[in-house]
Structure 1
């Protein structure tokens, strides 16, 4: 395959990695993986647009809390629940206070421990509560908030896959994508997500970009901690990053609204 084939292959890989859209996977290698991780925020915007449609359409015929709960369920369905699973596994590993291979073994277990359960409950409750508030906003603002938060979660993955961040294991998704993203993609993604976030809070154009920046700063700190504890990133860590950043952006968009 010619070298420029990495872009369509990367787009397909991004869609199959971050959504359940029926896209046929093609070439998969680290070069293609780098394109896919760079395109993650764009996939997040597409997914966010779908979720915004679900939220606002349901909010027109159902109570906001019901619309919000269904939207969170749709988000899990459209991503196979993989990000939530990654969150639970990562929190369980970090909560064990073990390091390196011992912590990675905990992440591989199929069961969910108490730390993981609490993390899932808190994240889902915050997301539902925030979306219930966003359901009452005007169409442009409510939709922009959902798109910005969903895209920001995937931008967190782009940042986690930047050059210099190692993989925790020699195999798996983390090994495929770790260190594959150059400095330009995160910068472009951050600007794009911030621009969408401007419209998310009527009368406070600064609040949306600030919420995105604060969430990504927290994610950067969490990533540094994970690398110290685990030795690098894994697919579970990337999933946890998606959920943490998305939830924090939702929270930042509804504070003092």
Structure 2
């Protein structure tokens, strides 16, 4: 249960007290990450549907939903996206690139990445209120579950940390293949009702999101030698965005 509590308190603002924090606990936490995304997605889908029922314009409903999402996650993953893109945009490798990633400020690449991610996610969410409630619920849960599933894939066995300390060092190379496959299968199953009449589109969204994450992780591994906590956040936001784009094509 320490691992489950660590997943909750790392990926949300819920102040859960964790006992032992070690690599074994981290392995459970990163394996359970997709399960944290499902209730979060269900809550946000409910907010989106309530705002639509109250007569809010679709763009306003999408913006409020994303604002609540940012509050519930402390904007931690958006910060990771900004730092990772700044480091990649600096064209520096190794320790020099990691130094850029560790800076407390955000550069132009990071600002552009966060802005485009939020705009794209908002635009995708505006396509949802006209759909059936079950489809909206499945779509948002799929997007948020896939985003957290990307973290599980980033922490899979064989992908090392870029630094000897920090969150990346704690969680890297911890998620075994069988639980990872089960989490992926569960996320794919939840995605099937997302687009009525197209049962293949939800699974395709999961696959495309994980593919995009794989490309990002490969580039970060090549440039920085492994993963960091910031790269995990960037993976989450990239996967969520790609999944929402794919699911918005109705």
What TM-score do you get using the length of structure 1 for normalisation? 0.96
Would the aligned equivalents of 1:64 and 1:136 in 2 still touch at CA under 8 Å?
Answer: no
Shift of 1:45: 0.7
Shift of 1:59: 1.4
Find the aligned partners of 1:66 and 1:134 in 2 and give their Cα distance.
13
Match 1:239 to one of 233, 237, 240 = 233
Find the aligned partners of 1:248 and 1:146 in 2 and give their Cα distance.
12
Specify the alignment match of 1:26 in structure 2: 19
Specify the alignment match of 1:3 in structure 2: none
Segments of 4+ moved more than 3 angstroms? none
With 184-193 and 166-175 compared, the bigger mean Cα shift is at 184-193
Find the aligned partners of 1:55 and 1:140 in 2 and give their Cα distance.
13
How many residues align? The count is 249
Shift of 1:22: 2.4
Specify the alignment match of 1:102 in structure 2: 96
Would the aligned equivalents of 1:14 and 1:36 in 2 still touch at CA under 8 Å?
Answer: yes
Specify the alignment match of 1:197 in structure 2: 191
Would the aligned equivalents of 1:153 and 1:242 in 2 still touch at CA under 8 Å?
Answer: yes
Shift of 1:71: 0.6
Find the aligned partners of 1:44 and 1:215 in 2 and give their Cα distance.
15
1:177-196 correspondence runs (5 A): 177-196=171-190
1:29-88 CA distances to partner (integer Å, 9 max, x unpaired)?
Answer: 000000000000000111111111111111111111111001111111100000000000
Find the aligned partners of 2:233 and 2:46 in 1 and give their Cα distance.
23
Find the aligned partners of 2:120 and 2:5 in 1 and give their Cα distance.
31
Specify the alignment match of 1:249 in structure 2: 243
Specify the alignment match of 1:46 in structure 2: 39
Is 1:154–2:148 an aligned residue pair?
Answer: yes
Q: Which runs of 5+ in 1 are unaligned?
A: 1-7
Shift of 1:156: 0.3
Shift of 1:135: 2.1
Find the aligned partners of 1:59 and 1:250 in 2 and give their Cα distance.
18
Shift of 1:221: 1.3
